[in-house]
Every structure is written in C-alpha cells, then in structure tokens.
Amino acid sequence: MSFVLLAAAGGFLASALAVPLSVRLNFLGTAELLNKLIKPGEITTKIEQRTIVAPQTDYFKEAIEKTKNSIVAIQSFKEGRLLRSGSGLVLTQDGLIATVNSVVPTEANVFQVTNQGKILKAKVVFREFTNNLAIISVSAANFRVVRFGPDLPELGKNLLIFAKVVDFGKDTSLVAPALVSRVNEEKKTFKISADYDINLYGAGLIDNEGTVPALVSFRNAKPNLIPAIVINSALNDYLGKITGGKTSR
C-alpha cells in the first residue's frame, strides 16, 4: 500500500514538509514507487501503471489544508459489529456527504461519521447503484464544503488521493499519490494510476489547488472514479425530491 498517515490535528510535521513523498513512502516500508521522470513526448493518450511519479509533499501542503475538513471518515455497523469503513466528501454545510455504496452497505443498520474528532450518527438518504454512489446525512451545521474542480484534469498531472480513517476514535488523514493516466475528451472521462488500498474507498481525489475532480473507489483492485459532475447531479436529484425542484448546493 502506498500511503502516508497524517495526524488530523497537527497536519504535516514541519520536518517532513520538504521531503519527497516517494522517499517517505519507502522509508515507511510501503509499496515501491518509481522515481524516473516522464520525458516530454512520452505521454500521449495513456500512461502505464509503473510510470507513477510521486508528488512532493510541499506541492500539496496548501491543498491539504484547504481540503482536510471537507473529507470525513465513515464507519458502517451491523448489530455493533464494524462492517465497512471509508471516507466521504462534504457536499453541504448542513451535513450531506457523498461516498460509495460499498462504504455504507445496505445490510448495515448503523452509520457514523467522524469529523475533527467528533462522532456523528448518520443515515443513508440516497443511493445510485449505477455509479456506486451514496449520499448520507448527519445532523450538523457549519461543515466545510468540498470544492469540486475541473472534470478533466490534464494528462500526466500529479494528484493526491485524500482519505480519512478512524484511529482510536479520532479521524486521521491518509494520502496516496495518483497520476492522471488517461483522458477521454469525447466522453469527458479520465483515469488515474494508483496503488490499491482498501482504506481509500470514498476518498477525494485532489489537485494542488485543493479542488476535487472525483471521488475514488476501486474495481478489480484498480481505481474507479466518480466524477464531480456525477456527484453534483445526484445531489441535485436528491434535493429536488425533498424540495420539489432542483436545488444546487
């Protein structure tokens, strides 16, 4: 697994800010990352899995600060037993959160969200199985809403997968490098190269500006993205049902 854990309260350690992420990952004994740079002209319409270039931590420092309170940890239980855990993206200040159906399975009967050390009860209010998308709701105010970015990032762009995990009752940040490996302008879709990690389901894919072009899950151990445009459409569908007309966040 290629990831780095970050304390939610403290963020990055000052001494680690200038260290390349690939070095830190290898030091932590995680999966090997290639360090060779991609030369101009080598990127055409696809970049293979093994040509991932690990981004620098300081490159994403500001982006993580902007995003860290807009991504939450989610846990699903059945009769007191933990079934699944993952992350979600805050869609509205009053507590609507996007995640993937596999993080909040239909057989679970209790859902909870952990955000900045606070544990909140949640309920599933919307499911869209075609895209494996779910919207959950918590009774809270003043959430920081995620900022969605362009639907199509540039081919070869370094991105970061940003997740939250619960550690001793507190939410802790988890990051992993990703690279835009394919862009389909006609279909308005893109793919990324990234290592499989069960902890990254429902994570946000962020760029260096702190915007989120997609939500992350995996299919057959390969990244599967739910684009921002699909999430916004689902949100509007849900709001339309409860308000009688489509309402954007």
Hey, CA dihedral for 75, 140, 92, 179, is it positive or negative? Answer: negative
**Which residue ranges in the chain fall short of pLDDT 50?**
1-2, 7-54, 248
The CA-based diameter of the chain, rounded to the nearest angstrom, is 55
The CA distance from 52 to 75, in Å, is 30
The CA distance from 238 to 228, in Å, is 15
Structure tokens that stand for 233 in this block: 């459409």
Task: Please state the pTM of the whole predicted model.
Answer: 0.78
Cα–chain center distance at 238: 21
pLDDT at res. 214: 96
* CA–CA distances in Å: residue 10 to residues 5, 7, 14, 204: 11, 5, 10, 20
pLDDT at res. 121: 95
Residue 5, CB half-sphere, CA atoms under 13 Å: how many?
12
Percentages of the chain per state (helix, strand, coil), in multiples of 5 = 15, 40, 40
Hey, CA dihedral for 188, 225, 8, 72, is it positive or negative? Answer: positive
Domains of the chain: 4-66+146-229 (2.40.10), 72-145 (2.40.10.10)
pLDDT at res. 140: 75
How many CB atoms neighbour CB 113 within 10 A? 27
pLDDT at res. 157: 94
pLDDT at res. 57: 56
